[in-house]
């Protein structure tokens, strides 16, 4: 694991006085919907976090809806077999990403993803499966995950992506149940390239060009199947059909432009703090 000095490469900024800072020790559970969400949403923090901060990345789905000619063109395989081959590739990419950040990786492979693949879910939000339609087994998997991990901090997807919304609802339900048993972790919501929909950001990790290049390099090295994927056009957001990785970079850049002004003038170095990962800490 390559550690950078937070003082030199990143600067944490919270504008909610109740939030004192990012975790520096203990157990962190980073919940993702897709194998590339950890680097996309919190890659800079993962790189600069202290060694005492133990991270488990729990990936909810195998995200196997990608084109791969070496699999798609095979007539000797059933569609189910092709799905399993794609799933194995994507989950291997997720494990490679976790290894980059010296984090543990848990592949949950939740059953609701089959509803997403078949086009079921909310009519007004394609790809988003309402919590009441999620199989009970998926809810139990999340309950068991929190009981085993016993996290001090949980990071959950907080943006507009429809599958992220389903995963967030599952995670929130499990956290409420976990808290009712006497354990209440600190909960932070992050974004990838989509718009925040969980409250408004109340903290940011501003970081340098070097850390952004490192983040992009991890995405490029680990996620071969996603190199040519384009980010979807979102309401009110101009994307110009950027690739997924470019969209993440652009989002980090835009966020830094907005929130850099919150820094005191003496340290408001626009050339240095060029990118930002945003968080919304829950009550």
Nearest to 168 by CA among 149, 188, 195: 188
pLDDT grade for 263, boundaries at 50, 70 and 90: confident
Q: Encoding tokens for residue 57?
A: 């990345």
- List, for residues 135-148, the tens digit of each pLDDT value: 999 999 999 999 99
**Stated pTM of the model:** 0.90
Name residues whose C-beta falls within 8 Å of residue 67's C-beta, 6 or more positions apart in sequence: none
265-277 pLDDT, tens digit per residue, is 877 888 889 999 9
Over residues 6-38, the pLDDT tens digits come to 558 898 888 865 665 788 889 999 999 999 999
Domains of the chain: 6-281 (3.40.50.10320)
**Separation between Cα atoms, residue 172 and residue 13, nearest integer Å:** 25
Using CB atoms within 10 Å of the CB of residue 36, give its burial: 0 to 12 exposed, 13 to 18 middle, 19+ buried.
buried
Judge residue 180's burial from the number of C-beta atoms within 10 Å of its C-beta, 0-12 exposed, 13-18 middle, 19 or more buried.
exposed
Mean pLDDT over the full length of the chain: 86
- Split at pLDDT 50, 70, 90, the class of 205 is very high
pLDDT tens readout for residues 100-128: 999 999 999 999 988 876 666 555 555 68
pLDDT at residue 237, as a whole number: 46
- pLDDT digit string, tens, across residues 47-104: 999 889 999 999 999 988 777 888 888 889 898 898 899 999 999 999 999 999 999 9
Predicted confidence band of residue 4 (pLDDT cuts 50, 70, 90) = very low
% pLDDT > 90, the chain: 54
Q: How confident is the model at residue 3 (pLDDT cuts 50, 70, 90)?
A: very low
Give the C-alpha separation, 168 to 176, whole Å.
12
Q: What pLDDT is recorded for position 75? A: 87
Three-class SS string for 53-112?
EEEEEEECCCCCCCCCHHHHCCCCCCHHHHHHHHHHHHHHHHHHHHHHCCCEEEECCCCH
């Amino acid at each position: 694991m390559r550690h950078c000095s937070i003082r030199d490469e990143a600067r944490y900024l919270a504008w909610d006085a109740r939030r004192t800072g990012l975790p520096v020790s203990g157990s962190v559970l980073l919940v993702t919907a897709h194998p590339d969400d950890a680097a996309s949403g919190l890659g800079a923090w993962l790189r600069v976090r202290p060694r005492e901060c133990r991270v488990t990345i729990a990936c909810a789905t195998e995200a196997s809806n990608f084109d791969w000619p070496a699999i798609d063109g095979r007539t000797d395989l059933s569609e189910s077999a092709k799905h399993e081959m794609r799933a194995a590739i994507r989950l291997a990419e997720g494990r490679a990403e976790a290894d980059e950040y010296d984090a543990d990786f848990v592949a949950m492979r939740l059953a609701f993803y089959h509803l997403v693949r078949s086009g079921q879910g909310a009519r007004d939000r394609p790809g988003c499966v309402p919590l009441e339609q999620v199989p009970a087994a998926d809810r139990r998997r999340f309950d068991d995950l929190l009981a085993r991990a016993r996290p001090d901090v949980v990071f959950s997807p907080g943006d507009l992506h429809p599958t992220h919304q389903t995963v967030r609802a599952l995670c929130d339900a499990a956290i409420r149940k976990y808290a009712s048993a006497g354990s209440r972790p600190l909960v932070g919501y992050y974004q990838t390239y989509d718009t925040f929909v969980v409250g408004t950001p109340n903290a940011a990790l501003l970081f340098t060009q070097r850390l952004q290049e490192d983040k992009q390099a991890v995405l490029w090295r680990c996620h071969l199947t996603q190199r040519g994927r384009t980010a979807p056009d979102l309401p009110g957001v101009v994307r110009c059909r950027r690739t997924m990785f470019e969209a993440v970079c652009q989002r980090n850049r835009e966020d830094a432009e907005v929130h850099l002004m919150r820094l005191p003038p003496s340290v408001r170095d626009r050339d240095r703090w060029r990118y930002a990962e945003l968080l919304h800490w829950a009550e």
